Structure 1
Amino acid sequence: MTTSVNTPLKQSMGEQQMRSLSATLAAIAPAFNAAAFLATALDGLEQLSLMERVRRASDAIAAGSLAMDGYEAVLPMLMEAAPRLGGGFLSLVAPDYVSQHGRHAFERSMDALKFFTRFGSSEFAVRTFLRDDTLRALDIMQGWSRDSDAAVRRLACEGCRPRLPWSFRLRMIEQSPELAAPILDHLRADPSLYVRKSVANHLNDVSKTHPAWVLERAALWGLENAHTRWIVRHALRTLLKQGNPQALSVLGAETAPEIVVGKFEVTPGQIILGDTLTLACQLSSTAAEPQRLLIHHRIRYVRQNQATSTKVFKLKEVTLAPGQHLAFERRQQIRDFTTRTHYAGQHQVELIVNGQLVAQSFFDLLR
């Protein structure tokens, strides 16, 4: 689901994709009205965001299928089309149509979403059914968590994430994360990295409101299995960046670091937006025993009103033997994002080891 660097992401759902979808559907179902589809799909398309374009396409399917025999006739057409459409955001359209027009046929529509997820993802669409009837949907999704297809198992977990990006929050699961626990428990050692990433992201979502619950789950699962250990490490990333003592303890980094920092430098000292910083660090262990170290750096960004906001980045996770030295560098480009705008001023950079501040530097951003 990528586009070129200079092309807005929403263009991956542009006129060309709409015409391709229309032609595919018309070839499958002669009763489908391609002209009506395009009249709806292309009206004001340029002003729409990416996900608005997905919704517009599903609305256009409804407009083009008025002469067909209802939802039960449209669904087989979409199922036949799904393998022909390729990946990308176009694959989200059929699931979105189901979420908008199939709520009256709960189990039939959930089964359709399971089918469609193999060709893209039904993670956004399934949330409508979770919102309508959380327990009923979760019961079906527990079955998905045992499916032989990794895409279906991932949907079981990703679809019920409390804070899935680009979607609304699932308040019931956000308030009571144990509702999705049977799904998470079954996937805690899944062989697919695609699935494990989803489990970790789901737990990371939960950690923002129920950190103790996530830590209890990690303790219950244990770290003996390599796949489970990977999930737990990534699930705790927000808590680790916050220096949460229990999260550090889970990964064996609960003790204060016994180190000497030989160097912590940020170069160049002055940059303009778009430049790349180099963080150089040298440290040595002064402990009598091997010690586990989780190393992060924290940037205190200057805001427009000269207050600061912080962002923590992971650098390394290592075990140092007594007297062992460690030297490494990390490059980081300073550029604006939709979620963060940079302002001129002196930005503090701090080295954090096992949740503790051990060194600091800075850079000046010129605008």
Structure 2
Amino acid sequence: MSGDAPALLKDILGPRALETIADAGSKAAPRFDRGVFLDAASGGLDALSIMERVRHIADALHLALPGVYTARLDVLRAIAPRLTHGFQAIAITEYVARHGLEHFDASMEALADLTRFGSAEFAIRPFLAADTPRALAAMTRWTNSDDEHVRRLASEGARPRLPWAARVPALKADPTLAAPILEPLKADPSLYVRKSVANHLNDIAKDRPDWLLARLAGWPQDDTRTAWIVRHALRTLIKQGDPRALALIGVGHGAAVSVRDFAVVPATVRLGDRIAIGAEILSDSSDNQRLVVDYRIHYARAGGKTAPKVFKLKSFELAAGDTAALRISQTIRDFTTRRHHPGRHEVELIVNGQTVATGAFDLLSN
């Protein structure tokens, strides 16, 4: 079989990236020890994952950077603009995370400066864990920054369930602690920031849904930017068919519709095949209806158990007496977060939180 193997994520921080960081360090500070950095950073690199490489490079920088810590922060500020990939800059911010806690305020200021080159969302977690009120106070001030990267760091860095990041005990115990950060960002002009705010709120939905629904009910949605955040923040609860979440986006629980020709094809597949899900939705109402249509697959598991997962299909307005044809397809393949097992997979079509049709497909063993 010919063709190149797909690139691995960890290779973003491979030998070429190390050379780039070394060159940037040498240009930023004549006393930067390029050789020491490359020797330390290269050693054992092949066996490390992407985030392990981030930490490994940060420790190599510790050996190569000249001067005292506060002077090293200035060198990092000079290195960052010379880098060529965001993950290289994340390795730079990780140096601050691993070696800057004793210089709390200077380190926080440095992270705000460095985040525009590669998000400092991971690097800020040790500071939140070490002194949550102090870190959150600084991050709340960042919400007034003219730089969207800094405003986004305020929200993203404090997410209770930030992927790939260390958990912060205080935020795990009370995920609403960052509310003073989210409030001033609820109509942020930057989509980059709004996505982070919505993701942060969606994190909270998984632990404190009542709090989230009460807070969002008080947000005026006459601003399209706020309305966008609310819709995306509620996505987990909407997938669960929560009537309160549906009401907040102007959707009733359930709908006056009929379903025709619901089908999941083919009926039998193997790993790597595609399934198609299709149906016609017919309005039974004399009024227009706003519909949120999802589908749920009950994935077969060992021992006869199943694991349901909801997927978005479409949100739209259905005119009185009208009909809409819906169709979506997906490949049945393994992910690091989901492994498939042979067996029957039930499929539900969900409209406004209620199941309106069911089908199934059988996954055969390869």
Q: What TM-score, normalized by structure 1, do the two folds share?
A: 0.96
Paired residue secondary structure (1:118): coil
Paired position in structure 1 for 2:42: 42
Partner Cα separation in structure 1 for residue 354 and residue 27 of structure 2: 63
5+ residue gaps, structure 2, are none
Paired position in structure 2 for 1:353: 351
1:81 aligns with one of 66, 75, 79: 79
1:135 aligns with one of 133, 136, 148: 133
Paired position in structure 2 for 1:124: 122
Partner Cα separation in structure 1 for residue 169 and residue 5 of structure 2: 35
Paired position in structure 2 for 1:170: 168
The answer to whether 1:32 aligns with 2:32 is yes
Partner Cα separation in structure 1 for residue 54 and residue 234 of structure 2: 33
* Post-superposition offset of 1:219: 0.5
Are the equivalent residues in 2 in contact too, given 1:17–1:90 (CA < 8 A)? yes
Partner Cα separation in structure 2 for residue 293 and residue 207 of structure 1: 22
State the identity as a percent: 48
Are the equivalent residues in 1 in contact too, given 2:344–2:363 (CA < 8 A)? yes
* Post-superposition offset of 1:175: 2.6
* Post-superposition offset of 1:42: 1.2
Structure 2 letter corresponding to 1:78 = L
List structure 1 segments (4+ residues) > 6 angstroms apart after TM superposition: none
User: What RMSD in Å do the two structures reach over aligned CA positions?
Assistant: 1.4
Deviation per CA, 1:170-222: give whole Å up to 9, x if none: 23123323321111110001111100000000000000000011101110103
Partner Cα separation in structure 2 for residue 277 and residue 92 of structure 1: 39
Deviation per CA, 1:2-43: give whole Å up to 9, x if none: xx9811100111122112211221232222222221221111
Paired position in structure 2 for 1:364: 362
Partner Cα separation in structure 1 for residue 47 and residue 279 of structure 2: 47
Structure 2 letter corresponding to 1:37 = F
Paired residue secondary structure (1:23): helix
* Post-superposition offset of 1:300: 0.3
Structure 2 letter corresponding to 1:171 = P
Deviation per CA, 1:200-258: give whole Å up to 9, x if none: 00000000000011101110103211111110111011111111111111122233211
Q: Residues 5 and 191 from structure 1, CA distance in 2 versus in 1: closer, same or farther, beyond 3 angstroms? A: farther
1:308 aligns with one of 306, 309, 318: 306
Are the equivalent residues in 2 in contact too, given 1:264–1:282 (CA < 8 A)? yes
Are the equivalent residues in 2 in contact too, given 1:86–1:119 (CA < 8 A)? no
Partner Cα separation in structure 2 for residue 306 and residue 39 of structure 1: 52
Partner Cα separation in structure 1 for residue 247 and residue 198 of structure 2: 18
The answer to whether 1:247 aligns with 2:245 is yes
Structure 2 letter corresponding to 1:289 = D
Paired residue secondary structure (1:11): helix
Partner Cα separation in structure 1 for residue 207 and residue 177 of structure 2: 15
5+ residue gaps, structure 1, are none
Paired position in structure 1 for 2:178: 180
Structure 1 letter corresponding to 2:46 = E
Paired residue secondary structure (1:104): helix
Are the equivalent residues in 2 in contact too, given 1:161–1:170 (CA < 8 A)? no
Are the equivalent residues in 2 in contact too, given 1:260–1:286 (CA < 8 A)? yes
Paired residue secondary structure (1:315): strand
Partner Cα separation in structure 1 for residue 13 and residue 110 of structure 2: 22
Paired residue secondary structure (1:318): strand
The answer to whether 1:7 aligns with 2:4 is no
Are the equivalent residues in 2 in contact too, given 1:348–1:362 (CA < 8 A)? yes
Question: Equivalences for 1:170-209 in 2 at 5 Å?
Answer: 170-209=168-207
Paired position in structure 1 for 2:285: 287
Partner Cα separation in structure 1 for residue 251 and residue 315 of structure 2: 9
* Post-superposition offset of 1:144: 0.7
Partner Cα separation in structure 2 for residue 38 and residue 22 of structure 1: 7
Deviation per CA, 1:122-159: give whole Å up to 9, x if none: 11111111111111111111111111111111001000
Structure 1 letter corresponding to 2:45 = L
Deviation per CA, 1:87-123: give whole Å up to 9, x if none: 3311101111011111111111111000001111111
Structure 2 letter corresponding to 1:106 = F
Are the equivalent residues in 2 in contact too, given 1:36–1:63 (CA < 8 A)? yes
Paired residue secondary structure (2:241): coil
Structure 1 letter corresponding to 2:227 = R
Structure 2 letter corresponding to 1:39 = D
Moved more, 307-316 or 37-46: 37-46
Moved more, 204-213 or 327-336: 327-336
Are the equivalent residues in 1 in contact too, given 2:283–2:323 (CA < 8 A)? yes
Moved more, 295-304 or 247-256: 247-256
Partner Cα separation in structure 1 for residue 20 and residue 296 of structure 2: 46
* Post-superposition offset of 1:320: 1.6
Paired residue secondary structure (1:224): coil
Structure 1 letter corresponding to 2:350 = I
Structure 1 letter corresponding to 2:35 = A
Paired position in structure 1 for 2:64: 64
Q: What TM-score, normalized by structure 2, do the two folds share?
A: 0.96
Partner Cα separation in structure 1 for residue 266 and residue 147 of structure 2: 49
Q: Residues 5 and 280 from structure 1, CA distance in 2 versus in 1: closer, same or farther, beyond 3 angstroms? A: farther
Paired residue secondary structure (1:90): helix
Deviation per CA, 1:311-342: give whole Å up to 9, x if none: 10011112222211111211211111000001
